Chain A
Amino acid sequence: MIRKVLSAWVSLKSDRQGNLWGTVLPEQGPEVAQVVHGQLGLPLTMMVAVDERAKSGVYRLTYLFSLIDKPAFLALEMAVDGQAAEYPSWTPAVPAANWHEREARDLLGVVPVGHPDPRRLVLHGNWPHGYHPLRQDAPSEVAATAPRRFSFRPPGEEAMQIPVGPIHAGIIEPGHFRFTAVGEQIQALEANLFYTHRGIEKWCEGKPVMTVLAAAERLCGVCSLTNSLAFCQAVEAIAKVEVPPAARYGRVLLCELERLYNHIGDLGNICAGTAVALGTMAGTRIKEQLQQLNDALTGSRFLRGILVPGGLRRPLAAEGIDKVLREVRRDAAMLADTLLGHASFMDRLDHTGIVDRATAWRLGAVGVAARASGIDRDCRRDHPHAAYHELRWQVPVHQEGDVAARLKVRIEEIEQSLSLIEQARAALLAMATTTTTTMKPGDWAAVIDEYPAGRGWGVAESPRGETVHWLEIDAQGLVSRYRVRTGSYANWPVVVAAVPGNMVPDFPLINKSFELCYACSDR
Chain B
Amino acid sequence: MFRLLWHHLAKTPPSPPIAAAQTDGHAGEAVLVRPLPDGWCGTSVHMRHVDCGSCNGCDWELSALLNPVYDIQRYGLDFVASPRHADLLLVTGSVTRHLQEALTMTYEATPDPKVVVAVGDCACGAGPFSGAYACGTGAEDHVPVHLKIPGCPPSPAMIIAALRALLK
Contacts and interface: CB of A to CB of B under 8 A. Distances in A.
Nearest to A169: B81
Contacts of B10: none
Classify chain A: how many residues form its interface, as a range. 35 or more
Given A140-B133, A195-B96, A196-B93, A342 B1 contact: yes
Interface in B1-45: 1, 3-5, 7-8, 12-13, 15-16, 20-21, 23-24
Interface stretch (A27-35, A197-205, A394-402): A197-205
A334 B97 contact: no
Interface in B39-89: 49-64, 66-70, 79, 81-82
Contacts of A180: none
Contacts of B98: 124-125, 166, 194-197
B35 to A, nearest CB: 27
Contacts of A334: 3-4, 7
Contacts of A279: 4
Given A219-B55, A221-B59, A198 B129 contact: yes
B15 A198 contact: no
A195 B53 contact: yes
A220 interface: yes
A79 to B, nearest CB: 26
Interface in A145-174: 147, 166-167, 169-174
Nearest to A197: B134
B60 A222 contact: yes
B152 interface: yes
A518 interface: yes
Contacts of A342: 1
Interface stretch (B99-107, B140-148, B160-168): B99-107
A284 B56 contact: no
Given A202-B133, A292-B21, A171 B152 contact: no
A178 interface: no
Contact of B49 (A171, A221, A224): A171
Interface string A289-308: 10110011001111000000
B10 to A, nearest CB: 13
B56 A327 contact: no
B4 A335 contact: yes
Contacts of A166: 98-99, 102
Given A126-B97, A198-B96, A200-B129, A288 B64 contact: yes
A172 B7 CA distance: 30
Contacts of B59: 171-173, 221
A167 to B, nearest CB: 5
Q: Main secondary structure on chain A at its contact with chain B? A: loop
A437 B148 CA distance: 38
B150 interface: no
A198 B135 contact: yes
Contact of B64 (A196, A284, A296, A300): A284
B128 interface: yes
Given A220-B56, A301-B24, A302-B57, A195 B67 contact: no
Contact of B133 (A133, A222, A285, A301): A133
Contact of A198 (B70, B101, B132): B132
Contacts of B133: 133, 140-142, 199, 202-203
B151 to A, nearest CB: 11
A291 B64 contact: yes
Interface in A276-326: 278-279, 281-282, 284-285, 287-289, 291-292, 295-296, 299-302
Contacts of A287: 64, 67
Contacts of B3: 334, 338
User: Considering the complex of A and B, which 8 residue pairs feature the smallest CB-CB distances, nearest first?
Assistant: A221-B57, A284-B67, A203-B132, A169-B81, A221-B56, A199-B132, A199-B134, A199-B133
13 contacts: A169-B81, A172-B51, A174-B52, A199-B134, A200-B129, A200-B132, A202-B133, A203-B135, A222-B56, A288-B68, A295-B20, A301-B23, A517-B56
Interface of A: 123-127, 133, 140-142, 144, 147, 166-167, 169-174, 194-200, 202-203, 214-215, 218-222, 224, 278-279, 281-282, 284-285, 287-289, 291-292, 295-296, 299-302, 327, 331, 334-335, 338, 342, 517-520
Interface of B: 1, 3-5, 7-8, 12-13, 15-16, 20-21, 23-24, 49-64, 66-70, 79, 81-82, 93-94, 96-99, 101-102, 106, 128-129, 131-136, 152-153, 155
